[in-house]
Amino acid sequence: MKLPDLAELAMRNLRESVLRNSLTTIGISVGVASLVAMLSLGIGLQQLASRRLMKSGLFDTVVVSSRRDLRNFGHEEERNGPTPGESRILDESARQEIERMPNVLEAYPDIRFITELRYGDKPHMTMVAALPSSAKSNDAFDSMQGHFFSSDTAPEAVIQKSFAEELLGKTPKPGVDDTNVSQLAAPLLGKELTMRYARRQASQAPAAPSTADPDDEDDEDDDDDFSAAAYSVVSREQKLKIVGVADLDPESMRGPTRARVFLPLRLAESLQVMQPTDLREIARATSGQQVYSSVNVRVKNPSGVQEVESAIKKMGFNTFSILDASRSIQQFFRVLDLFLLIFGSLALAVAFVGIVNTLVMAILERRREIGIMKAIGASDGDVRKLFFAEAGAMGILGGIVGVILGWAIGQIINFVTNIYLARQSFPAEHFWSVPLWLAGFAILFSFLVSLAAGLYPAGRAARLDPVQALRYE
Partner 1 sequence: MGETLIRAVDGVTLKVRAGEFVALLGSSGSGKSSVLNLIAGLDRPTSGSVVVHGSDLSQLTREELAHYRLHTVGMVFQSFNLIASMTVTENVELPMRFAEVDRGKRDGLVREALTRVGLQARMNHRPSELSGGEQQRAALARALINRPQLLLADEPTGNLDSRTGTEIMKMVCEFNQQLGMTVVMVTHERALAERYAQRLIFLADGKVVGEETTAVVAAASVQGARQ
Q: Which residues bind partner 1 (CB under 8 A)?
A: 1-2, 4-5, 9, 12-13, 16, 368-369, 372-382, 466-467, 470
360/470 with CB nearer partner 1: 470
94/370 with CB nearer partner 1: 370
Q: Closest approach of Cβ 375 to partner 1, in Å?
A: 6
- Single-letter residue type at 198: A
DSSP state of 125: E
Q: Count other C-beta atoms under 10 Å from residue 414's C-beta.
A: 18
Q: Closest approach of Cβ 361 to partner 1, in Å?
A: 16
237 and 196 Cβ atoms separated by less than 8 Å = yes
Q: Closest approach of Cβ 466 to partner 1, in Å?
A: 5
**Euclidean distance between CA atoms 471 and 473, whole angstroms:** 6
Reduced to 3 states, what is the DSSP secondary structure of residue 138?
Answer: coil
Q: Closest approach of Cβ 8 to partner 1, in Å?
A: 8
2/423 with CB nearer partner 1: 2
Q: Closest approach of Cβ 382 to partner 1, in Å?
A: 6
Q: Closest approach of Cβ 6 to partner 1, in Å?
A: 9
22/287 with CB nearer partner 1: 22
DSSP state of 472: -
Reduced to 3 states, what is the DSSP secondary structure of residue 236?
Answer: strand
Q: Closest approach of Cβ 464 to partner 1, in Å?
A: 11
**Euclidean distance between CA atoms 15 and 17, whole angstroms:** 6
DSSP state of 237: E
9/230 with CB nearer partner 1: 9
- Single-letter residue type at 399: G
Reduced to 3 states, what is the DSSP secondary structure of residue 107?
Answer: strand
102/381 with CB nearer partner 1: 381
Q: Closest approach of Cβ 45 to partner 1, in Å?
A: 49
CA nearest neighbour of 393 among 108, 53, 121, 12: 12
Q: Closest approach of Cβ 21 to partner 1, in Å?
A: 13
259/464 with CB nearer partner 1: 464
Residue 197's Cβ-count burial label (10 Å; 0-12, 13-18, 19+) is buried
Q: Where do the H-state alpha helices sit in 174-304?
A: 181-188, 265-271, 276-281
224/465 with CB nearer partner 1: 465
- Single-letter residue type at 110: D
Q: Closest approach of Cβ 2 to partner 1, in Å?
A: 5
Q: Closest approach of Cβ 381 to partner 1, in Å?
A: 7
227 and 199 Cβ atoms separated by less than 8 Å = no
- Single-letter residue type at 171: T
Answer positive or negative: Cα dihedral of 217, 219, 222, 228.
positive
**Euclidean distance between CA atoms 184 and 44, whole angstroms:** 33
- Single-letter residue type at 363: I
5/192 with CB nearer partner 1: 5
372/404 with CB nearer partner 1: 372
**Euclidean distance between CA atoms 182 and 279, whole angstroms:** 41
Distances from the Cα of 415 to the Cα of 154, 261, 272, angstroms: 39, 36, 50
Q: How far is C-alpha 307 from the geometric centre of its chain's CA atoms? A: 19
307/365 with CB nearer partner 1: 365
Distances from the Cα of 362 to the Cα of 29, 375, 391, angstroms: 20, 19, 11
**Euclidean distance between CA atoms 434 and 417, whole angstroms:** 17
**Euclidean distance between CA atoms 161 and 344, whole angstroms:** 43
Q: Closest approach of Cβ 301 to partner 1, in Å?
A: 54
**Euclidean distance between CA atoms 139 and 5, whole angstroms:** 58
12/170 with CB nearer partner 1: 12
